[in-house]
Copies of this chain bind each other. A is one copy, B any other.
């Protein structure tokens, strides 16, 4: 049963499992204690810190383990902001950062600080010079992910780091998605990552803070001395995390190339096998193992369920799969289609056969969902009609507004317009995305009594 959601959580690496088991017996005592059980635990902790520091490319005393990647991001951002409070309270970040970074930015704003989200292009990458322009005299910190968790697009970290260095602004790099796959470009001031993304256990994150970076931990002090995380260290999991990081990094050379070829195949085949699909994210500057595409006229939640029934575990940035019923902020920032969205992220060891079977199953699953929803066939132009049309999709959720639009577009004379009334948040993203895919013109959004009126002009 292939699991294709490694970007959410990777199955435990065999090395992590072994290290965890071994240190359950050796590493349960408090490493701060002077007796033998404590000394043994202390040695395990020191060795784990050294191994992790080597993988990260920093000194062991620049690195602490946290209880999750989220905690690493939160304490990294709050510590760096506090450390530079005299400079100002402005945070620069890309619009496609992980939610943990966005939540930290929101917390800063709630406390009276400000932040600037740097826009991304259609592939989801920031433009370094645009990022540079977001750096202000009062910017305390900049945040940029090494690669995006939903699209795999790599960010220009080295270029942005150079601009930050020139402006004297520390840069926090969220390397959660990439650290297991290879080195992070140089120039970061703080780096955060999460073990269960590289096949380590849950419950372990890491935060590296370069010497010389102003850092003032917030909240209650810990017992473990300055720069140490508060609370008792989760030692067996830390040992397992460090061991598996080393192991996956050693395997990454061969495995990255293999997975990149499999993803290339998905990127090439999906649009050939499934009509009306948009593959998103940078085709070249990307993580090796991750690909995202969106299917017109498809409800993401049903698609996930059908793929799950067929044995494939994937995730989605569609609005119908989120608790807030809004599409993923990443897809939104990119301005790409969000309906019928699927993220495939291959764990190490995924076979050609697994991918082949996925490509066999997918077209039928998508077609089945479309049929249930009454989506229009790929090419079914109807005779033209006279009057401007209004399609009422109020109260209907994604992908229905787009399906209703697609059904009537053939009735609109070329050059004429159709107006779609919709109150689903995803329509804002998906109607313009449909227009771009179909080479029609998205005229714009007008306020309406309820929801919005989206005006579309038929061009072809």
Which A residues are closer than 8 A to B by beta carbons? 1, 3, 5, 8-12, 17, 20-21, 24-25, 28-30, 33-38, 67-71, 74, 78, 99-100, 103-104, 106-107, 194, 196, 201-205, 219-223, 225, 230-237, 301, 304-305, 307-308, 312-315, 321, 323
Contact = CB atoms under 8 A, between A and B. Distances in A.
A67 B74 contact: no
B9 A20 contact: no
Nearest to A237: B203
Nearest to A29: B9
Contacts of A219: 74, 78, 107, 219
A68 B323 contact: no
Given A35-B5, A35-B308, A68-B232, A74 B220 contact: yes
Nearest to A35: B313
Contacts of A24: 12, 17, 20, 201
B236 A202 contact: yes
A405 to B, nearest CB: 27
A74 B323 CA distance: 28
Contacts of A9: 28-30, 232
Contacts of A196: 28, 232
Nearest to A75: B219
Given A35-B304, A71-B231, 19 more contacts: A1-B36, A3-B29, A9-B28, A9-B30, A20-B24, A28-B201, A34-B301, A35-B307, A35-B308, A36-B313, A68-B231, A70-B230, A74-B219, A100-B220, A100-B223, A100-B230, A103-B221, A201-B237, A202-B234
A156 B220 CA distance: 26
A203 B67 contact: yes
Given A230-B100, A305-B34, A202 B321 contact: no
B8 A106 contact: no
B323 A107 contact: no
A35 B1 CA distance: 11
A223 B100 CA distance: 8
A281 to B, nearest CB: 20
In this complex, the member of A20, A36, A205, A234 whose beta carbon has the largest number of chain B beta carbons within 10 angstroms is: A234
Contact of A33 (B5, B21, B100, B107): B5
A164 to B, nearest CB: 22
Contacts of A12: 24-25, 28
Contacts of A10: 28
B3 A37 contact: yes
A71 B230 contact: yes
Given A17-B24, A107-B221, A202 B100 contact: no
A90 B119 CA distance: 44
In this complex, the member of A78, A220, A305, A323 whose beta carbon has the largest number of chain B beta carbons within 10 angstroms is: A220
13 contacts: A8-B29, A20-B24, A34-B304, A68-B231, A74-B219, A100-B231, A103-B221, A106-B220, A107-B221, A196-B232, A203-B204, A203-B237, A219-B219
Contacts of A1: 36
Contacts of A67: 67-68, 71, 203, 231, 234
Rank and list the top 10 A-B pairs by shortest CB-CB distance, nearest first.
A67-B67, A203-B234, A68-B231, A70-B231, A35-B313, A103-B220, A107-B220, A203-B203, A202-B234, A35-B308
B321 A34 contact: yes
Contact of A201 (B34, B234, B304): B234
Contacts of A205: 231
Contacts of A99: 223
A20 B25 CA distance: 13
Contacts of A220: 74, 100, 103-104, 106-107
A140 to B, nearest CB: 16
A344 to B, nearest CB: 12
Contacts of A30: 5, 8-9
B33 A315 contact: yes
A25 B14 CA distance: 11
A345 to B, nearest CB: 12
Nearest to A68: B231
